[in-house]
Every structure is written in structure tokens, then in C-alpha cells.
């Protein structure tokens, strides 16, 4: 069973407030609502039975995101669970807001595509009859519509499923589509910055924080680079010096990170970077949602214009032939 980002955000916030009020984790899990009740009760029973947080999380069903498990495990091991729960709540609220914006932005282009699909067979089957004028066989229209409409709905359903599963196929598609490519890169860096900030706040070692943040970013190139950085940190190198060789992170990220590393204000810098790149990702998504529907509408208008011109050309040809 899937749990929405809004429910997860509310659940994390409830747990954080309960822990800050001095309630133990087991009781907090029993009190908080949101995810399936039987699962949270099992989590509470495991904690009561003496399970470590890391072991308890391994038994939670897939509604709990893998990225959250990494952070909760690190925070639980270092006694900084309330702070991490607050951060996860904020992150899921942001994700829910982004999803709502994406859905709203998708309504118009989907409507345009459906309009095109419904018009295409009709315009192709429209004929001019000498006695009755224009006419169209409705039986033929629906027979021509179904082979186009059903595959489109099937494809749309498949895309929705892949998005929910965070499939690598969607990332590859976004990597080649203009506009979405920039959005994906900015979003990956925003997710990485958030995770690195959360791991450090949770008390994780910096090498583990880099490795875990790379995994959470969901970007294969960033994940690979983060693994290399984690290994270099274990060899005694600071991350800032390794970033100078990176082609993954833009200059502003490298510059701010190095400043935060030198001044001891890394958490503040990472929070700034998270906000900065999230805003950049949101702007990229807004550009895509503005221009792509208009491009689709323009293509549809051109198609209709061509069909209408062809229809009237047929009509005037009939008049010309009749007059001769």
C-alpha cells in the first residue's frame, strides 16, 4: 500500500513532536497516524522488544521510502531522530507540492493531446458529397479512434506507474528531453544537498554522509562520484578539494561548499544550496509546463489548418469541375 507524501510529512511531524515532548519512540509510533496502522504497531512492538532502529526499519513495508530509511537509521544511531524527522517532514511537504504543480501543469497538454486524438480520425474521414455536402461515417470514425486512443491511455498509464516507482527509464527520458534535462539535474543536486545536510545533522560520518546522499539523489553519475568522494575522504582528503575535479556539480555549488567547509558553517551552506537548487528545478519545470503545451497546441492548429485547407480545396475543385 502506497502512502502519500502529505501523510508521510504529517506522520514524521507527529513523531518529532512526541519525541520532543519526552514520549519514547515506541509510544510515539502507537500514537501517530498516517501509514497503515498494523505496520506502525508492528514497528512499535519491535522497538519495545529491544530492536535497534536499523533492524526495525528493515521489516517495514515498501511504503517507507528507501531514502528515508537511510536517514532515519543514521539519526537513530546517533540520538538525533527529532531533527531528522522535522527535515523529512519538510521534504515530503515540498515533494507533495511539486507533484501537485506537475499534475496541474499536465492537465492542459493532456487535454490538447486528447483533442488531437479525437479530431484526427474525423478530419481524415471527412468527405465532401455532391448531394449532402460534408459528411462523415460515425462507425468508421469510432473504428479509427479506438486504435489510437487505447494505446495512448495504455502508454499514459505505464508512464504513471514508472514515475511512482522512480524508474530509471523515466530518468533516461528526462535526460534527453530539452527543459526536463535541466530540471532533473537541478532536482538531483537539491535532493543531494538536502540529504547531505540531514546526514550531517543526524551525526553520520562525513564519508557515509556523502555515500548515502549520492544514493538518495537518484542520479547515477552523482551516485558514482559520491562513492569516489567517500573513498577519498577515508584516505584523508577533504570533500572540498575533491569537488574541484568534478564535472557533476556546478561552480556555485563547489564554491559555497568549500566556503562552508572552511568556516564550519556547512549545514547552513547546504540548507542554502538545497533551497537554491530546488528553486532552480521549480523554474525549469515552470518553463517546461509553459512552453510545451503551447507547442502542442501550435502543432495541432497547423494540422487542423492543413486538413481544413485540403477539405475546401476538394470543395472548390468540385465547383470548378461542375462549372466546366
**What is the tens place of the pLDDT at every residue in 105-150?**
777 777 777 777 777 665 555 554 444 444 555 667 677 777 777 8
- Percent pLDDT > 70 in the chain is 80
What pLDDT does 12 receive? 92
Instruction: Give the cell for residue 10.
Output: 504529517
Same domain for 120 and 237: yes
CA distance 90 to 160: 24
Most confident of 123-127, 213-217, 308-312: 213-217
Mean residue pLDDT of the chain comes to 80
**Do 285 and 260 reside in the same domain of the chain?**
yes
**Which domain does 158 fall in, by range?**
81-324
Domain with 194 in it: what CATH number?
A: 1.20.81.30
Can you tell me the mean pLDDT for 279-287?
A: 84
Residue ending a domain, among 15, 31, 64, is 64
**Can you tell me the mean pLDDT for 262-288?**
87
The share of the chain scoring above pLDDT 90, in percent, equals: 12
**306: Cα within 13 Å, side-chain hemisphere:** 9
**pLDDT tens readout for residues 76-100:** 877 888 888 998 998 888 888 877 7
Q: Is 96 a member of any domain?
A: yes
Radius of gyration of the chain (CA): 27
Tell me, yes or no, whether 202 and 95 share the same domain.
yes
Q: Do residues 38 and 94 both lie within one domain?
A: no
The reply to whether 87 and 56 lie within a common domain is: no
Residue 160 has pLDDT above 80, yes or no: no
Q: Are residues 239 and 145 in the same domain?
A: yes
One domain for residues 59 and 193: no
For residues 17 and 165, membership in a common domain is answered with no
The answer to whether residue 36 scores a pLDDT higher than 60 is yes
- What count of other Cβ atoms lies within 10 Å of the Cβ of residue 197? 22
Domain count, the chain: 2
* Domain presence at residue 74: no
Residue 70 forms part of a structural domain: no
Listed residues 19, 34, 64: the one ending a domain: 64
Cβ atoms of residues 208 and 74 within 8 Å: yes
Is the pLDDT higher at 318 or at 291?
291
Cell numbers at 70, concatenated? 537511510
At residue 169, does pLDDT exceed 50?
yes
Average pLDDT on 151-179 reads 71
Q: Is residue 308 part of a domain?
A: yes
Determine contact, residues 269/256, Cβ cutoff 8 Å: yes
pLDDT, position 27: 92
Is residue 76 in some structural domain?
Answer: no
Residues 60 and 88 in one domain: no
Is residue 224 domain-shared with residue 140, that is, in the same domain? yes
**What pTM was estimated for this model as a whole?**
0.72
State residue 132's pLDDT score.
Answer: 46
Domain contains 304: yes
pLDDT(166) > 70: no
Does residue 300 surpass a pLDDT of 80? Answer: no
Q: CA 31, CA 204: separation in Å to the nearest integer?
A: 28
Q: Are residues 23 and 133 in the same domain?
A: no
Residue 20, domain member (yes or no): yes
Does residue 299 contact residue 119 with C-beta atoms inside 8 Å? no
CB pairs under 8 A, 24+ apart, for 36-40?
36/1, 36/3, 36/61, 36/63, 39/63
| 103/85: higher pLDDT | 85
Residue 71 lies in a domain: no
Greater confidence (179 vs 20) lies with 20
C-alpha 139 chain-centroid distance = 42
Tell me: do 211 and 250 sit in the same domain: yes
Is 165 a residue whose pLDDT tops 70?
A: no
Amino acid at each position: 500500500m502506497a502512502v502519500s507524501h502529505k501523510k508521510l510529512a504529517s506522520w514524521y511531524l507527529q513523531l518529532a513532536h512526541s519525541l520532543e515532548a519526552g514520549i519514547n519512540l515506541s509510544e510515539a509510533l502507537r500514537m501517530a497516524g498516517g501509514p497503515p496502522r498494523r505496520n506502525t504497531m508492528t514497528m512499535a512492538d519491535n522497538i519495545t522488544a529491544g530492536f535497534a532502529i536499523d533492524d526495525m526499519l528493515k521489516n517495514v513495508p515498501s511504503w517507507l521510502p528507501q531514502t528515508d530509511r537511510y536517514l532515519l537509521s543514521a539519526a537513530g544511531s546517533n540520538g538525533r531522530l527529532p531533527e531528522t524527522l522535522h527535515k523529512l517532514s519538510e521534504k515530503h511537504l515540498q515533494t507533495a507540492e511539486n507533484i501537485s504543480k506537475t499534475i496541474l501543469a499536465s492537465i492542459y497538454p493532456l487535454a490538447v493531446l486528447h483533442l488531437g486524438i479525437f479530431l484526427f480520425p474525423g478530419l481524415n474521414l471527412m468527405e465532401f458529397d455532391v448531394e449532402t455536402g460534408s459528411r462523415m461515417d460515425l462507425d468508421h470514425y469510432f473504428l479509427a479512434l479506438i486504435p489510437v486512443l487505447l494505446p495512448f491511455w495504455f502508454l499514459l498509464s505505464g508512464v504513471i506507474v514508472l514515475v511512482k516507482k522512480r524508474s530509471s527509464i523515466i530518468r533516461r527520458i528526462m535526460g534527453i528531453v530539452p527543459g526536463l534535462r535541466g530540471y532533473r539535474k537541478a532536482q538531483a543536486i537539491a535532493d543531494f544537498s538536502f540529504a547531505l545536510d540531514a546526514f550531517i545533522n543526524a551525526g553520520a560520518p562525513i564519508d557515509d554522509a556523502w555515500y548515502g546522499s549520492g544514493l538518495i539523489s537518484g542520479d547515477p553519475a552523482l551516485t558514482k562520484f559520491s562513492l569516489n568522494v567517500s573513498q577519498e575522504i577515508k584516505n584523508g582528503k577533504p570533500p572540498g578539494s575533491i569537488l574541484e575535479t568534478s564535472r557533476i556539480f556546478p561552480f556555485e555549488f563547489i564554491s559555497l561548499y568549500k566556503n562552508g567547509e572552511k568556516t564550519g558553517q556547512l549545514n547552513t551552506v547546504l540548507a542554502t544550496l538545497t533551497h537554491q537548487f530546488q528553486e532552480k528545478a521549480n523554474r525549469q519545470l515552470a518553463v517546461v509546463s509553459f512552453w510545451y503545451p503551447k507547442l502542442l497546441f501550435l502543432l495541432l492548429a497547423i494540422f487542423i489548418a492543413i486538413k481544413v485547407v485540403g477539405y475546401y480545396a476538394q470543395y472548390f475543385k468540385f465547383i470548378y469541375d461542375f462549372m466546366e
